[in-house]
Amino acid sequence: MKRINLLIFWIGIGLSFSCSTDPVDVPKGEFEKGVLIVNEGAFGANDGEVYHYDPQTGEVQQDIFEKVNHRPFAGLIQDMVAHAENFYIVANTGKVEVVRSSDFQSLGAVSGNGLENCRHLAVAGDKLFISDWGPYDNAWANPDSFLAVVEGPEGGAVSNKISVPSRPEGLFVANGKILTACSAAGVFAVIDPEKEELESIVPVDGAPFSFFEYETGIYLYARTDEAIYFHRINPNDFSILNTVETALTNTIYNGNFALGENGEVYVITSGGTSDKVVVVSLISGDIINEAFYSGADFYGLGYHKSEKTLYIGEHNGWQGNGSVKKINAEGELTGTIAAGRGPSGFIFR
């Protein structure tokens, strides 16, 4: 009883101090500002990692997952998703790690053997939904693709697998449903997250990769070797409202692109002696600049809105570490950042 009374006494003192003093600025976590560079890693080496770049000082911190958690990430990173106070690092080698976004401290992981070739992740309620190609058959196809369900925002075991069309990629939560871009099947699937059931399938032109928002619309990016497509989706019934097509050959196979200012979209094309970043209008489909920036080994794109700067990840022929080029609005190189193996994505904070 005395211990409880003493605890109440100290709580009361703490409350009185908190009410009588000015608000205290809580120091931000080490990684709450700056740019996070997602390095996919090389096949076979499984050395995917995340770097932190400070645009103010130019400082780069390497391998921050390993630095904070004292163990290597040990996977090929396909995506890193921000939700609430967490980052979800998704590796196509069949693993998902959950870290606190402020300091990269590990909070949990998806455990067990429920994942095969996972691609992306979405959070709906307290559940995690992970797109997974599933196993390869004898023809290197993936007929048994699925969404893995995990009951808990900080990971745990896979509790269910929802069958979806082949090779699901990007996920998007809209109007209480989960949309899943199925690249090999040429469709997107609509999932009920509460029932954990496939509701409907919507065919689209091209191989769809990822969803994004622009102004008040939901868009789906898709590609073939000859064209790219922007499908605008009705958020109520998930029908296709309209499709904008641009004839553009040899866009990058991983579906990487970046949304810039005023509906401008940056897309990588490869072939010949160099790679190029092409600027396309999301609204009209017109090519605004067919060679905004040229170089070699382009792999990832990201647009820093406050800097009005395009970040281009270069894989260096997968011979050692890559780099990131910073390109201004005029298409001029303004800086180069040291990166890891295969820099493929960016989170700007």
**Which stretches within the chain are classed as H helix?**
2-20, 64-69
DSSP string, 38-60: EE---TTT-B-EEEEE-TTT--E
pLDDT tens column, 56-113 = 999 999 999 999 999 999 999 999 999 999 999 999 999 999 999 999 999 999 988 8
The pLDDT value recorded for residue 265 is 98
DSSP structure class, residue 251? B
pLDDT tens column, 225-271 = 999 999 999 999 999 999 999 999 999 999 999 999 999 999 999 98
Ordered by start, the domain boundaries in the chain are: 30-68+256-349, 76-247
The pLDDT value recorded for residue 182 is 98
* % of the chain beyond a pLDDT of 90: 89
The pLDDT value recorded for residue 31 is 93
Q: Which fold has domain 76-247?
A: Methylamine Dehydrogenase; Chain H (2.130.10)
DSSP structure class, residue 193? T
* % of the chain beyond a pLDDT of 70: 92
Closest by Cα among 146, 157, 150 to 198: 146
- State how far the Cα of 164 lies from the Cα of 181, in Å rounded to an integer: 10
Q: Which residues contact 68 (CB under 8 A, 6 or more apart)?
A: 99, 103, 104, 105, 106
Q: For the chain, what is the mean pLDDT?
A: 92
Q: Which residues contact 345 (CB under 8 A, 6 or more apart)?
A: 37, 38, 79, 80, 256, 300, 302, 313
Q: If you average pLDDT over residues 209-218, what whole number do you get?
A: 95
Residue 345 reports pLDDT greater than 50: yes
Whole-structure pTM value:
0.90
The pLDDT value recorded for residue 28 is 62
CA dist 105 → 60, 66, 154 (Å):
18, 10, 12
| C-alpha distance across the termini of the chain, in Å | 48
Q: If you average pLDDT over residues 275-287, what whole number do you get?
A: 97
- 177-182 and 168-174 as β-strands: parallel, antiparallel, unpaired? antiparallel
DSSP string, 287-347: EEEEEEEEES-EEEEEEETTTTEEEEEE-GGGSS--EEEEE-TTS-EEEEEE--SSEEEEE
